Structure 1
Amino acid sequence: MDWLKRMNGAVSYIEANLMGEIDYEIAAGIACCSVYHFQRLFSFIVEIPLSEYIRRRRLTLAAFDLQGSDIKVIDIALKYGYDSPEAFARAFQKTHGITPTMSRNLGVSLKSYPRISFQISIKGAEEMNYKIVQKEDFSVFGVEEIFSTENDENHKAIPALWKKAIDEGIIDQMIKASGVHWNNSSKGIKPVNAVMCYRNTGGTTFPYMLYAISPKSGTPEGFASLDIPAGTWAVFTTEEHTVDQTAEHVQALWKRIYSEWLSTASYEHVNGPEFEMYGVSETKNEFCEIWIPVQKK
């Protein structure tokens, strides 16, 4: 399948450059996606960040070099991208549990992380419901921040943004400015949701906005504005859950989208705005819809 060939091609590029500079833009280009989506897809499927995979592979090869030669530690450190033997020694000990010098002794225990390869895995008969939606262009307003995917920093920073917006009353301000009537007895999609990846911010970063639909009067004062172009989205919905389970269910659904649906669907992901829309069901439980921009293969 094309998806598998592209992902394995990206891994081949990474493996060929473990002793040099790895350009995430090149790797993502081979996979035919943005750096952000390549890192995200990799992390969801492999279950470790791309940067951590590269670190483990380099330290695996470094251990082989140390045991099989009398090359100086500083030369091996430089070979695998470390600026100093001290930084290399710290990383090596964190991974293998011993110093680089000790690794040359016979009988010591070391860790080996093999090269990965992407394959289709049959995981069972659990259904995955989705729908294809086309929308005309529309405008939103809200609060924007730029996040980094390095070391999964966004997984901590995004919940912090939501907490800050709630604690400081920003969410309530947005609801009032949008003109939508919402209270504790309301059901359906909430007035304030999240949109991301609507423009290229470069490298390993992506834009993220807490948004509400713009009122007819225009963008409320003090908020950023964003025009969403017409497009086609695949829409997926989590199971109903409690508020404290939201992050868990959303991340699990993202993982299934990337690892199961996109690898076999007749649609492919394209660059464009992605949405997380949060709602309240008839039974007063929470649910979330994930919208990803797609096109027919």
Structure 2
Amino acid sequence: MDWLERMNRALEYIEDNLETEIDYKKIAQAATCSEYHFPRMFSALSGISLSEYIRRRRLTLAAFELQKSNIRILDLAIKYGYDSADSFSRAFQKTLGLKPSDARNKGTQLKAFPKISFQISIKGDTEMEYRIEDLDFELRIIGTGKPVKTSKAFKTIPTLWNNAKKDGYMQRLIDMSWENPKCTLESLLGVCGKEAAIMDEEFTYFMGIRYDGDVPSNMECITISHSTWAVIPNIVEAWKRLYSDWLPTSGYELANFPCIECYYPPKHKPRHELWVPVVPK
């Protein structure tokens, strides 16, 4: 399958650059994916974070070198991206369970974290709810956009909503929303960039609501003209399973429109959903 080939290309890039600086944007490009979405997809498929995988692979190679050469620990630290021998030693001991100096001893038992490769496996013991929504109108969303560094989006976006709650912006959106319901997409909305595949180092996270009235002076308006959406409940779980479970076998692929995080009003079930723009393959 094409998505497996792309994921394995990304892993080859990582493997080829363990001894040099790794560009996270190039990893995502190798997978023909966005820098924003790739870490989610990798974590969902592998069970560990991308940064932790790279750390484990580098320290595994470092352990091999300690046993077969007389390289200085400082030189080894610099080679694998650490600023000092102390920071390297701490990471080495935390990950492999012993000090780098002890790894030189013959007969010492070491841990090795092998290279990951993605293959097709038979799964399906956990069901995944979703539905397809077709919108026959243009989405007109008002709100404000916030710049988000792609590599830090997972931490930044929840903070943006927390701040919006504290400063009253969220309540202002709530007061304006749900006045003239037009579809099930009536909620607080987080529009992720300009398209589902975010390839830039920074994107705009647009926090707003669907609204047909006049645009307030301190807000902006964006429009999204796309009809077919895959809607998956539970935003956190949806991001985890979108690439690993749903997209590969769905018969759809991502459209060139942004994904939308939807946070519904009280008593709505589910509490939130991820709307993913799709087109048939």
TM-score normalised by structure 1 residue count:
0.80
Q: Which letter maps to 2:124?
A: G
Gaps of 5+ in 2: none
Q: Distance in 2 between matches of 1:60 and 1:270?
A: 39
| Alignment correspondent of 1:197 | 193
Q: Distance in 2 between matches of 1:201 and 1:26?
A: 10
Q: Distance in 1 between matches of 2:32 and 2:199?
A: 18
Question: In the alignment, is the contact (CA less than 8 A) between 2:148 and 2:204 conserved in 1?
Answer: yes
| Alignment correspondent of 2:243 | 258
Q: Distance in 2 between matches of 1:209 and 1:58?
A: 37
Q: Distance in 2 between matches of 1:85 and 1:212?
A: 51
SS at the partner of 1:89? helix
Write out per-residue CA displacement over residues 254-286 of structure 1, whole angstroms, 9 at most, x where no aligned residue: 2222211111222112443111223359x7544
Note the 1:213-252 alignment, pairs <5 A. Answer: 213-217=210-214, 219-223=215-219, 225-238=220-233, 249-252=234-237
| Alignment correspondent of 2:132 | 131
Please report how far the alpha carbon of residue 138 of structure 1 lies from its aligned counterpart in structure 2 after TM superposition.
Answer: 3.3
Distance change in 2, residues 1:80/1:178 (3 Å): same
Please report how far the alpha carbon of residue 180 of structure 1 lies from its aligned counterpart in structure 2 after TM superposition.
Answer: 2.3
Please report how far the alpha carbon of residue 6 of structure 1 lies from its aligned counterpart in structure 2 after TM superposition.
Answer: 1.0
Distance change in 2, residues 1:51/1:250 (3 Å): same
| Alignment correspondent of 1:165 | 164
Distance change in 2, residues 1:201/1:168 (3 Å): farther
Q: Distance in 1 between matches of 2:90 and 2:7?
A: 31
Pick the aligned partner of 1:290 from 260, 269, 274: 274
| Alignment correspondent of 1:246 | none
Please report how far the alpha carbon of residue 178 of structure 1 lies from its aligned counterpart in structure 2 after TM superposition.
Answer: 5.0
Distance change in 2, residues 1:114/1:135 (3 Å): farther
How many residue pairs align between the two structures?
277
Please report how far the alpha carbon of residue 232 of structure 1 lies from its aligned counterpart in structure 2 after TM superposition.
Answer: 4.3
Distance change in 2, residues 1:104/1:54 (3 Å): same
Hey, which bits of structure 1, 4+ residues long, moved more than 6 A? none
Distance change in 2, residues 1:279/1:41 (3 Å): same
Please report how far the alpha carbon of residue 181 of structure 1 lies from its aligned counterpart in structure 2 after TM superposition.
Answer: 7.1
| Alignment correspondent of 1:276 | 261
